[in-house]
Amino acid sequence: MPKHVYINAASGVEIDRHFDKGYKSLALESIRRMEKSFGTIEPEALVISSMSPESMGEQIGLAGVLADYLGLRRLKVFRVEMGEASGLAALMASYSLIASGLVKSVLVLGVEKVAELATSSIVRIYSMIGDSEYMGLYSISPASEASILAKLYMARYGYSYEDLFRWPVTMHKNATRNPHAQLRFTIKAESYKDSPIISEPLRLLDAYPFGDGASAIYMGSRPREVAIEVSGIGSSNDVHDAASREDPLFFTSVRDSFEEALKMAGVDRGSVKYLEIHDSYTPYPYIILESMGFVERGEAPKRFSQDTSSIDRVYVNLSGGLKARGHPWGATGIYQVYELFQILSGMWDPIGIGTVDGYAVAQSMNGAGSQSYIAAFRRVR
């Protein structure tokens, strides 16, 4: 049985409103980019990560349709759906396929059409990540849940809205260095004044943009010329809505999944140098960083450095995060892995720090920490 699982190739298309491209076209473009950079791939299994092709594309059985369109035959074909966290859930499933010895190589493809419909329809579909018979019944949208947590956070720890808004400003700056980011422009600290409220106190600039995308990674039991090891994986869940938890301002699923991934990797928190976390709405990254133990509770807005996008010596969301890189739902976790693969392999150095030894961690969740998936990576070649 293989003891190690490696990512040997990765790719991604620019996140945008691709009105001229469907699931098939986006998937094909990501594979072509991968093979152009890394050569031919020969997967024994295809795992598709996509959150809502049934609603957005009226397509059931997307994995089989894409396998046929991509010319991939005689494979084990799967689709993984775990809401917004589908990407890293697909990574975990693919890791298991290889580590168990069932296959030696897997192509993991995250693809999503988010901007296909009118905004009102997109918002309705996105709201399905909550409990439809509870949250949906009372019209508590994901943005409303995030706004409740923002108010609680400010009230408990004594912050102003302007204090929290430092995060979107930093993410937009980071996105200008990311060639596949959706919002590649900077914003000013006072930009929120011209941004419409979506759920008070949160404004449009506190939320991720709607965009389509496709990103792919090629995993195997043996390292190729460029290889990043999947050193640890963790996952956990919590009460589905934050308001029903003992403490809404602490994501237990994030803490537990992070500790599980670190334990599997055999390292501690101090070994982590890069983070990609799930910042779909402004309050979430602060709560995530505190739940992961990188900073004391209530201290994240003070300790986060806008100049270096870091907490102490840990670089956070150099990609621009969901906020500015974009959040094509089921593809987002794969984009996170693709970006960390580029950084660890030295193919992308967004802030000019050179190669840094250590681990990179991707964290993805559904809603306000209902389920969390975390993966830790290190470079081996």
The whole-angstrom separation of Cα 344 and Cα 378 is 7
What pLDDT is attached to residue 136?
73
The secondary element (H helix, E strand) that includes residue 107 is strand 105-112
How many CB atoms sit inside 10 A of residue 271's CB? Answer: 16
Kind of pairing, strands 314-316 and 272-276?
parallel
R_g of the chain computed on alpha carbons? 19
Annotate 195-234 with b (16+ C-beta within 10 A) or e (fewer).
beebbebbbebbbbbbbbbbbbbbbbbebeebbbbbbbbb
* β-bridge partners, 202: 199
C-beta separation of 107 from 41 below 8 A: yes
On the CB side of 61, CA atoms within 13 Å amount to 5
Residues 268 and 270: their CA atoms lie apart, in Å, by: 5
* DSSP three-state, residue 356: coil
Rounded to the nearest 10°, the torsion over CA 12, 130, 240, 242 is: 90
**Across all residues in the chain, what is the average pLDDT?**
96
Distance between CA atoms of 7 and 341, rounded to whole angstroms? 8
Structure confidence at residue 356 (pLDDT): 66
The pLDDT assigned to 331 comes to: 98
Task: Report the alpha-carbon distance of residue 99 to residue 236 in Å, rounded.
Answer: 20
Q: Which residue has the tokens 């937009």?
A: 172
Pair 344, 228: CB distance under 8 Å: yes
Q: What is the pLDDT of residue 133?
A: 87
The CA distances from residue 313 to 61, 278, 289, 302, 304, in Å, are 44, 19, 13, 15, 10
Q: H or E stretch including 337?
A: helix 332-344
Q: 6-118+210-220 architecture in CATH?
A: 3-Layer(aba) Sandwich (3.40)
AA letter at 290: E
Indicate the pTM of the whole model. Answer: 0.97
What percent of the chain has pLDDT above 90? 93
Low-confidence ranges of the chain (pLDDT < 70): 1-2, 355-356
Q: What is the pLDDT of residue 359?
A: 97
Report pLDDT for 1. Answer: 43
Q: Residues 304, 316: contact at Cβ < 8 Å?
A: yes
Q: What is the rounded distance in angstroms from the CA atom of residue 375 to the CA atom of residue 272?
A: 11
- Output the CA torsion 112→118→120→126 (10° steps): 0
CB atoms within 10 A of CB 10: 28
